A = this chain, B = another copy of it.
Amino acid sequence: MADDSAQSLKPGALLAAMRQKNPLVQNITNFVAMNIAANVMLAAGASPAMVHSPEEAAEFAGIAAALTVNIGTLSPDFFDGMKQAAEAASEAGKPWILDPVAHFATAYRRAAVSALLEHRPTVIRGNASEIITLAGEHASGQGVDSGDSVASAQAAARALAIRHGCVVAVTGERDFVTDGHRAVHVLGGSALMPKVTALGCSLTCVIGGFAATMPDKPFEATVAALALFASAGELAGRDAHAPGSFAVRFLDLLAEVTPDAVDAVARVIPA
């Protein structure tokens, strides 16, 4: 099929498709990320809705084309909304993305992520420490920052992808994406990206935007989201050299970057 050709699944083409569709994505994310994640999604070409309350989260999951769940500032009310929305999305066959922020830090987070995994996320995105510990291994993260390299998380990512039948993305200096069988690196970005809070959380939401655009291609959707960030980040890093101005330029570039520029700047290579 034409849609399955290598050309039409390149990140640039998928970005064009997302901008065309402007999919509605429900994001249950943390208080730090809510504003920047919404701005990132609008710039990238998706329509974000932050709807978390147990009173409506499942109903809204029936309206949105995809769901993202991020446990960054977890609390019982948000957790109830997350579970209900994840269950509703899963039952409706809609993609949902899990961002297990610092799940290894406390017992509460570990239990929450275990419960969320039962609803079979389509994609898991985390930093190296988060992915390593999610696979049951020992990591060296501090707080919400990763103490491990992406390279050291590759085996854990593959194991996790196979165990849960999902795509796993490990992001950092050199991103790694696998569905347990295929695997690629996505290169690009800027050293300033971890200096802007919640860009990783925002990326999780953007994966939701791409997954909503091509729900049966979560591997390609995830790679496209990472390539968009890698290219916009790399281009922004050429113009801005400190975190405040970098964040502004990065938002601009998420909107300005062309599909061709995404394919030219981000390097997607087999792992």
Instruction: Decide yes or no whether A7 CB sits under 8 A from chain B.
Output: no
Q: Which of A24, A31, A60 has the most CB of B within 10 A?
A: A31
Q: Which chain B residues border A196 with CB–CB below 8 Å?
A: 39, 42
| Alpha-carbon distance A42/B145, docked complex (angstroms) | 11
Closest to A102 in B: B49
Copy number in this complex? Answer: 3
Whether A198 is near chain B, meaning CB under 8 Å from some CB there, is: yes
Asked if A30 is an interface residue, CB under 8 A from chain B, the answer is: yes
Within 8 A of B (CB), among A78-115: 102, 105-109
* CB of A8 closer than 8 Å to a CB of B: no
* Interface of A toward B, CB cutoff 8 Å: 24, 30-36, 38-39, 42-43, 47-53, 55-56, 59-60, 63-64, 72-77, 102, 105-109, 142-145, 194-198, 242-245, 247-253, 255-256
Which 4 pairs show the lowest CB-CB distances between chains A and B? A244-B251, A242-B252, A38-B197, A56-B106
